[in-house]
Structure 1
Amino acid sequence: MVGPYRGLFNGPGIKAFVLAGFVGRMPMSMIGIGIVLLISALTDNYATAGAVAATTNVAFAVGAPLSGRLMDRFGQSRVIPPFAVINALGLAALLFSAGLRLPEWTLYASGLVVGATSLSVGSLVRARWSVIHGGSSKLHAAFAFESVVDEVIFVTGPALVTVLATAVSPYMGLAVALVFMFVGCLALATQRRTQPPVQPARSGGGTPILIPAIALLSCVFLAMGAVFGSVDLITVAFAEEEGVKGAAGFLLASFAGGSMVSGLWFGSRHWRISLQGRFVRALCVFALGLVPIVFIGDARVMAGALFLAGFAISPTLITGFSLIERLVPPSLLTEGMAWISTALGFGVAIGAWAGGRLTETYGASNAYIFSLGAAFLAVIVGIGGSGFLRVPEAPSPAQS
């Protein structure tokens, strides 16, 4: 399993940007659940908590392609610092608005700023890998590694923010996320040697979302994002219903843990199945894996079910980003990857909102039906439009 990853980090500056990207990405698994835990603790209202989290995710979804285009045009080192500063101020404003019991609209306003200035750090890091290993079979291993990093973050982040918010202070989870974001993003901005080259502005340049395959992938990841957003919120409420609210982060970590294990295995293999075929198969496994959670009413059993349900997440994301790398012109690469983050962000927002409403009305266990439905919608769209996803295969390890 180690073979394909051997030598992946040999090269000037690679370890530095990988480490900075890891730290800067930690908030992506902390902010959503941190907002839910903070606001639900203060208001005892999951609908409001979900709505504020959804506002943040919608703002991120809208802003991600714009920040991606700015990265392509001006370079990561120039664009990251101002975004990081404004994002830190927005997080601080959200904490103060909650702590001082300011009017509810201030929570939405500060959440809007946080989302709009949150950077898709995973896209920035993957764009660097694409420049370093583009056209090589090592790019598959690099994307697999990044997917595993994402899942390590989603294993540790929710557990960390839950412990901080429930055992220390409701505000502490978001405060720690602020520190991770600021330190990691500024550290990444200093890694100029490995950043993608600046692309000159072009008249009538267009946007990757107009490419049919990218539009299709965005629709699939929109539905997947709805799964993630709803599962996050519903699982917090499920843990509270079971009398173990402090275990919510660990339940979500189980979901990510399954994806982490499968990502290591998936990235270590040289696949003969086409990228298109891998993507569709992973989607089907993802939807089927979610079926059991609808019928479970025990937190310990749910942890195991979520672990198994997470197995197809990494393979789907790995193949999705690999398809983006093949389908998008180099001059639009960061923006193209950011559109996946945008789709996921919109989906998470929809899922958080719907999950909150359904949980309030029908209870957490019944609300999981929405997550399952969104997963099957992703499968239907992915299979129906799979013809757009045919791309040339990467060279084999012997050729690269």
Structure 2
Amino acid sequence: MLTMSIVLLVQHTTGSFGSAGAVAAVAGVAMALFAPQNGKLADRFGQAAVLIPGVLVNAVSVIALAALALADAPLWALFVAAVPVGASVPQVGPMVRARWAAVLDHPERRALTPTAAAFESVTDELTFVVGPVLATALCTWVHPGAGLATQAVLTLAGGLLFAAQRDTQPVPHGALAGHARVEHVSAFSIPGARVLAVAFLGIGSVFGGMQVSLTAFAAEAGQPGVNGLLYGIFAAGNMLAGVACGAIAWKVGPRRRLILGYTALAITASLLWTVHSVALFAVLGLLVGMSIAPALITGFTLVEALVPTSARTEAFTLLTGAVALGQAAAVTLSGRLADAHGASAGFLVPMGGTVLALVTIVALRSRLVPTLKSRTVARGVGHRSPVTVD
């Protein structure tokens, strides 16, 4: 809800989509830069210790940004206010994934990790569908600032409720330091995590490029109302593929699945700029969405094998931050290209982002090999056998 609510409020108060997108981009970049630091603190001191002050700061910052916008504050003031908004976004999604990784970190349960990652991706995608619709309805029918106010209340309440769930919280490695020597490893220092971050930057370029370019595409087609339908089809493809990924007992290793899934994403995203029919775009958008889920889920699954337990929350926030950074950059670049050359030019951003990321993944695929060379994966009900992780 955050990005859409910022765009709608700032556009209402300034009359400029460019200014609105710029303020939203500042918040997105701030989140991308600070998310890994929040994850590192959560790994060291515990998730609740980071969440509780974080959601309080976020609620205050969001309300402050809304108040400044409604008071017709200058654009530079909105930029300044957007920084703490993005920096304090609670990283609940990565923290949930870190909890799954901790709970399933056992030989008999490890095969469920891809299913858990798929479940999280499906629920995340549901928020990407419902959130913008709810924010639009609130800002349009209730008050221009209602979207941000609701987002602040939901984030505060949800963050505090989640922080109260202490039983599933991974043991912070700072608490272990008194019992055993714990090596503090930064997720960013792990080559495989950096490769995955590049992959997720490319995924972010698809989300950002689609949001802006779809709006321009629908306007050019003379059907501005179809924008929401097309984005919904795109998101539905992502959710359907996520359900399928979680239901399959994979015999192919995660590294190979990532390369295959990302190849499909790069190919489908590279075709977006060629389509000029709403019906054809609906079909292609569905395929793009279905290609995102395997790459996204497999990337999160690889974290469990590549990153030590003491740095997993940081690693998950690094990846979600990479998505946010790619999305912010794509929103800005796609908007400029669409304004200057039409919607088709805006779709060149997802193509460029995914192709460059795929080249990086293939060239550095050796860095995606975990230290542990084999895992035990499900082969069917009641039967498991070891396979190489590839």
The TM-score, its normalising length taken from structure 2, stands at 0.89
Pick from 366, 371, 377: which aligns with 1:396? 377
Whether the aligned pair in 1 keeps the contact of 2:55 and 2:155 (CA below 8 Å) is yes
CA distance in 1, matches of 2:242, 2:318: 22
Tell me which amino acid in the other structure corresponds to 1:269.
I
Report the equivalent of 1:365: 344
Residues in 2 aligned to 1:304 and 1:162: alpha-carbon distance in whole angstroms: 25
Q: Match for residue 233 of structure 2?
A: 254
Matched, 1:146 2:125: no
1:271 to 232, 237, 250: 250
Shift of 1:304: 3.7
| Residues in 2 aligned to 1:153 and 1:70: alpha-carbon distance in whole angstroms | 26
Spell out the pairing of 1:211-250 with structure 2 (5 A cutoff). Answer: 211-250=190-229
- Structure 1 residues 164 and 254: alpha-carbon distance in aligned structure 2, compared to 1, 3 A threshold: farther
1:193 deviation in Å? 0.7
Cα distance in 2 for residues equivalent to 1:393 and 1:340: 24
| C-alpha displacement of 1:132 | 0.8
Pair 242,31 (structure 1): closer, same or farther in 2 beyond 3 Å = farther
Task: Specify the alignment match of 1:58 in structure 2.
Answer: 29
Measure, in 1, the Cα distance between the counterparts of 2:14 and 2:342. 18
Q: Which residue number in structure 2 is paired with residue 126 of structure 1?
A: 97
Question: Counterpart in 2 of 1:185?
Answer: 159
Q: Whole-Å Cα distance in 2 between the matches of residues 283 and 130 of structure 1?
A: 23
Change (3 A) 1:250 1:37: farther
* Alpha-carbon distance between aligned partners in 1 of 2:343 and 2:146, rounded to the nearest angstrom: 26
Correspondent of 1:331 among 305, 310, 334: 310
Q: Find out whether 1:70 has 2:41 as its counterpart.
A: yes
Give the stretch that moved more between structures: 58-67 or 362-371. 362-371
Counterpart in the other structure of 1:156:
130
User: What is the CA-CA distance between 1:354 and the residue it aligns to?
Assistant: 0.9
- Measured after TM superposition, the shift of residue 49 of structure 1 is 2.1
| Cα distance per residue 1:163-212 (max 9 Å; x no partner) | 33344443332222222211111110000011111112679834111111
Please give the secondary structure, in 1, of the residue aligned with 2:344: helix
Return the alpha-carbon distance in structure 1 between the equivalents of residues 297 and 375 of structure 2: 14
Partner Cα separation in structure 2 for residue 297 and residue 102 of structure 1: 40
Q: Give the equivalent residue in structure 2 for 1:6.
A: none
Partner residue of 1:282 out of 252, 258, 261: 261
Residues 352-382 of structure 1: CA deviation (Å, up to 9, x unaligned): 2212222222233321112211121121111
Q: Does 1:104 align with 2:83?
A: no
Cα-to-partner distance string for 1:269-293 (whole Å, 9 max, x where unaligned): 1111111100000101111222343
Per-residue CA shift, 1:203-233, capped at 9, x if unaligned? 9834111111111111221222122222222
Assess if the C-alpha contact under 8 Å between 1:33 and 1:233 holds in 2. Answer: no
Paired position in structure 1 for 2:289: 310
Whether the aligned pair in 2 keeps the contact of 1:46 and 1:356 (CA below 8 Å) is no
2:157 is matched by which residue type in structure 1? V
Report the equivalent of 2:388. none
2:9 to 17, 35, 38: 38
Distance 1:381 1:375 in 2: 10
Give, in whole Å, the separation in 2 of the partners of 1:78 and 1:327.
26
Q: Does 1:194 align with 2:168?
A: yes
For the Cα contact (< 8 Å) 2:204–2:326, is it kept in 1?
A: yes
Partner residue in 2 for 1:172: 146
Q: In the alignment, what sits opposite 2:59? A: 88
How many residues are paired up? 371
Match of residue 350 from structure 1: 329
Where 2:250 maps in the other structure, the secondary structure is coil
How many Å separate the matches in 2 of 1:171 and 1:244? 27
Q: 1:393 Cα deviation (Å)? A: 4.3
User: Partners of 2:374 and 2:26 in 1: how far apart?
Assistant: 39
- How far has the Cα of 1:112 moved from its partner? 0.8
Q: Is this contact kept in 2: 1:166–1:246, CA < 8 A?
A: no
**Aligned-residue CA RMSD in angstroms?**
2.1
- Secondary structure of 1:396's aligned partner: strand
Identity of aligned residues (%): 36
Equivalent residues of 1:159, 1:253 under 8 A apart: no
After superposing the two structures, state which structure 1 stretch, 389-398 or 267-276, moved more: 389-398
Instruction: State the shift of 1:244 in Å.
Output: 4.8
The farther-off stretch of 261-270 and 303-312 is 303-312
Q: Contact (CA 8 Å) 1:263, 1:315: kept in 2 or not?
A: yes
Aligned AA (2:9)? L
Residue 79 (structure 1) aligns with: 50
Given that 1:66 and 1:335 are in contact with CA atoms closer than 8 Å, whether structure 2 keeps it comes out as yes
What is the identity, as a one-letter code, of the residue corresponding to 2:86? G
Which secondary structure state, in structure 1, belongs to the residue aligned with residue 193 of structure 2?
helix
Q: Distance in 2 between matches of 1:316 and 1:231?
A: 17
Counterparts of 1:204 and 1:380, CA distance in 2: 33
After superposition, the Cα gap between the structure-2 partners of 1:111 and 1:174, relative to the gap in structure 1 and judged at 3 Å, is same
Amino acid at match of 2:173: Q
Q: Distance in 2 between matches of 1:46 and 1:97?
A: 17
Stretches of structure 2 that go unaligned for 5 or more consecutive residues are 386-390
Contact 2:173 2:182 in 1 (8 A): no
Distance 1:318 1:210, change over 3 A: same
CA gap of 1:50–1:324, structure 2 versus 1, over 3 A, is same
CA shift at 1:300, angstroms? 5.2
Spell out, residue by residue over 1:266-324, the C-alpha distance to the aligned partner (whole angstroms, 9 max, x if none). Answer: 11111111111000001011112223431334545534432221001111111101111
- Residue of structure 2 in register with 1:4 after alignment: none
